[in-house]
Structure 1
Amino acid sequence: MTTTAEQPTTVTPMGVVVAPAGLDREQWLTVRRTGIGGSEVAAVLGMSKYASPLEVYLDKAGELPLDRPQHPDLEEAAFWGLAHEPVIARVFAERSGLRVVEGLGTLAHVERRWMLANVDRFVLDEGESTPSSLLEIKTRSAYQLDEWLLGVPDGPALQTHWYLAVTGYRHAHVAALLGGNRLLIHRVERDEGLVEHLVALLGEFWQGVLDRRPPAVDGSEATEELLGHLYDVNVDAVTVADPAEVLPLLTRHHELKAREQRTADELREVDNQLKAIAGEAEIVKTQGAVAFTWKQNGPLSTKRFAAARPDLAQQYTHRVDALDTKRLAAEHPDEFRAHRARRLVVPKESAA
């Protein structure tokens, strides 16, 4: 029987602290593997450019290195996001008139401990001694300004609602610094239907982690990149696969490659017809407006230039540092092979 004294102490309406602030990176990553955090929601739902559901699954199942290298774009963005976070929090407080305090560490939902959150800041209304909402802080490119002017984009909105689900708060604030010189502040009201939907979808995913049921391999670039470096290659090893699984995939592969070729040929035909219409002109107009252009502003044809003006070509030719891959392969064949990319080759006519 559970006594009152054994009940966990909530620090938000539905959130309890499961790991204190200030953990070293390895400890923090270990805690993250005990559930799903806000930054992983979009990936689990197949909405992330940099991570796929399969990668999140493999990480949670302990089948990937704990502190593996991040995508360079993500690593750089994370660095600047962390550097700007205190300044954005301070300016948010100044402009909103609300008080902010730092997070308490990693939170979990009091009933569903796999629901995790690392809240950037907590927000206190005027005259209150305890937080009543949270602040999510983002640093984004100026190219995303138009999207943020309309509200909180999908990815950050899902992360914010996940934090509302974990903490139990009724609303949150999102402060986004765009291009380093434009701060936009949005208030996000809790959408109970969305919260329930997220809990159901991510709960199903988490049960798959517990049951060791990986998600299906999808067609995302993130999954392609993951599979490219996931396995240590066993040279000349053979896998005997189930024909019922492989043959339909091979048939689909051939169909898609044929369609791709047809589409490329059709597109080239249309482009050639447009170029013939343009002739010597760079701009083609119809009904008083520019319909299309065919300008001489593409890459330089170096071979044609060198043949026509060998004197100038020689003048502007210079040496560049390049890796001598042939020599590397000859002198260090094991290292050369270990760092080669894997290529998928499907015969045009399957032997199967």
Structure 2
Amino acid sequence: MIRKISTANMTREEWLEARKHSVGGSEIGAILGLNRYQTALTVWSNKTGRLPDAEDNEAMRQGRDLEAYVAERFCELTGKRVKRNNYIMTNDDFPHLHANVDRLVIGEHAGLECKTASAYNEDKFQTDEFPDSYYAQCVSYMAVTGLPIWYLAVLVMGRAFKVYALVRAPSEFKKPEWCESITKVNEEEFAAIRETVQTFWRHVETDTPPAPDGSTTDKEALGKLYKDCDADAEVMLSKDLLREYEEAKDLLSRAEERKRGVENQIKAQMGECCTGYTDGWSVTWKPQQRNTFDRKAYEAACGTIDKKYFKTSSTRVLRVKKMED
């Protein structure tokens, strides 16, 4: 059964609060490790109230403001009509998953997702394949709504306007001229979405964080989640994990040494030349000046700098030391 919560009169704060009780389509990619701005850990931290919602920024504001324009361009290009869907939708067949869709297509069992992308990301839309970054979101909307077709309209700022389509397999849907591609979604993918959300939500219900990844996003999240520590507390760590850390550190050291060796060979080839090149490559090795502040010399000449001119920051530093056997 599909259930609906009206968002018609919700404030943005109320809407954000309502979303905390399940996983949204825009968060599926983060849980799957496909989102560079969010991760499973940051989504969990938000659902459990440990970290606040991301602060609104200019890119988010423009995305919301341009949603209507993208929908209009879709209608102009395709000849279709769309309508808003002012509901947060859930489906009993997909527990803990919700859909807050942009538009529904009138007279067709289909939905529409509207996206705005920076011109700097134009290379991601050079092929006719459905963009990976939006795939999981649109598949999850198909899962919740039960609709067999989902369109994606993307405005690449100042560069392009493209439309893609997902269809539930098997399907006789034929590719229109205005559509970049048709991608079929198999039932196994809907089952994978269901399992992914259920596994993630167990972390929420048991208040157990999912394993962090190697992203800067998770590094920053851990710094916020555990910014303080108990000086008298100790914990027994995984020896396997520490061994893996040492192995990774050794690999990194060897890679850095190899990189320096190659850099030195390039410099030796260039000699006194400032520029070097070969097919598809260009290299410069030019003098560069850097100005730094000599605090000791300044204080010797002018006196000690007042502490009020210094900024103090606090962070936890991880240091791993291997003890003798």
Q: Confirm or deny a common fold (TM above 0.5).
A: yes
- Assess if the C-alpha contact under 8 Å between 2:95 and 2:198 holds in 1: no
What code does the residue aligned with 1:63 have?
A: R
Matches within 5 A, 1:114-153: 114-124=96-106, 128=107, 132-150=109-127, 151-153=129-131
What code does the residue aligned with 1:182 have?
A: A
Deviation at 1:326, TM superposition (A): 4.1
Deviation at 1:103, TM superposition (A): 1.2
Deviations 1:19-48 (A, max 9, x none): 433311222122111111011001111221
Deviation at 1:193, TM superposition (A): 2.4
Is structure 2 residue 16 aligned with structure 1 residue 35?
no
Task: Give the percent of matched residue pairs that are identical in Structure 1 and Structure 2.
Answer: 31
Question: What is aligned with 2:3?
Answer: 16
Give the 3-state SS of the residue equivalent to 1:277 in structure 2: helix
Deviation at 1:296, TM superposition (A): 4.1
Is structure 2 residue 207 aligned with structure 1 residue 225?
no
Pair 1:284–1:25, CA change in 2 (3 A): closer
Give the 3-state SS of the residue equivalent to 1:64 in structure 2: coil
Give the 3-state SS of the residue equivalent to 2:4 in structure 1: strand
What code does the residue aligned with 2:261 have?
A: E
Give the 3-state SS of the residue equivalent to 2:219 in structure 1: helix
Question: What is aligned with 1:343?
Answer: 317
- Assess if the C-alpha contact under 8 Å between 2:153 and 2:163 holds in 1: yes
Q: Distance in 1 between matches of 2:29 and 2:21?
A: 18
Q: Distance in 2 between matches of 1:171 and 1:292?
A: 44
Q: Which runs of 5+ in 1 are unaligned?
A: 1-13, 305-323, 330-335
Question: What is aligned with 2:66?
Answer: 84
- Assess if the C-alpha contact under 8 Å between 2:25 and 2:99 holds in 1: yes
Pair 1:69–1:185, CA change in 2 (3 A): closer
Question: What is aligned with 1:60?
Answer: 47
Is structure 2 residue 296 aligned with structure 1 residue 327?
no
Is structure 2 residue 231 aligned with structure 1 residue 237?
yes
Q: Distance in 1 between matches of 2:118 and 2:266?
A: 36
Question: What is aligned with 1:160?
Answer: 138
Question: What is aligned with 1:261?
Answer: 253
Pair 1:17–1:351, CA change in 2 (3 A): farther
Matches within 5 A, 1:298-309: 300-302=288-290
Deviation at 1:351, TM superposition (A): 7.3
- Assess if the C-alpha contact under 8 Å between 2:88 and 2:99 holds in 1: yes
Deviation at 1:113, TM superposition (A): 4.5
Q: Distance in 1 between matches of 2:126 and 2:276?
A: 35
Select the structure that is richer in helix.
1
Q: Distance in 2 between matches of 1:168 and 1:49?
A: 28
Is structure 2 residue 193 aligned with structure 1 residue 213?
no
Matches within 5 A, 1:271-310: 271-284=263-276, 289-290=278-279, 292-296=281-285, 300-302=288-290
Deviations 1:252-297 (A, max 9, x none): 3333323322221221112111221222334556xxx537544245
Deviations 1:90-136 (A, max 9, x none): 12111111111011221111444521011001111xxx3xx521110
Q: Name the larger-Rg structure.
A: 1
Question: What is aligned with 1:173?
Answer: 151
What code does the residue aligned with 1:101 have?
A: K
RMSD over aligned CA atoms reads 2.7
What TM-score do the two structures reach when normalised by structure 1? 0.75
Pair 1:270–1:107, CA change in 2 (3 A): same
Q: Which runs of 5+ in 2 are unaligned?
A: 169-184, 293-304
Number of residues of Structure 1 aligned to a counterpart in Structure 2: 295
Q: Distance in 1 between matches of 2:281 and 2:317?
A: 38
Question: What is aligned with 2:198?
Answer: 203
- Assess if the C-alpha contact under 8 Å between 1:21 and 1:106 holds in 2: no
- Assess if the C-alpha contact under 8 Å between 1:35 and 1:114 holds in 2: yes
What code does the residue aligned with 1:327 have?
A: K
Deviations 1:219-256 (A, max 9, x none): 2221101011223424x6232111xx244433333333
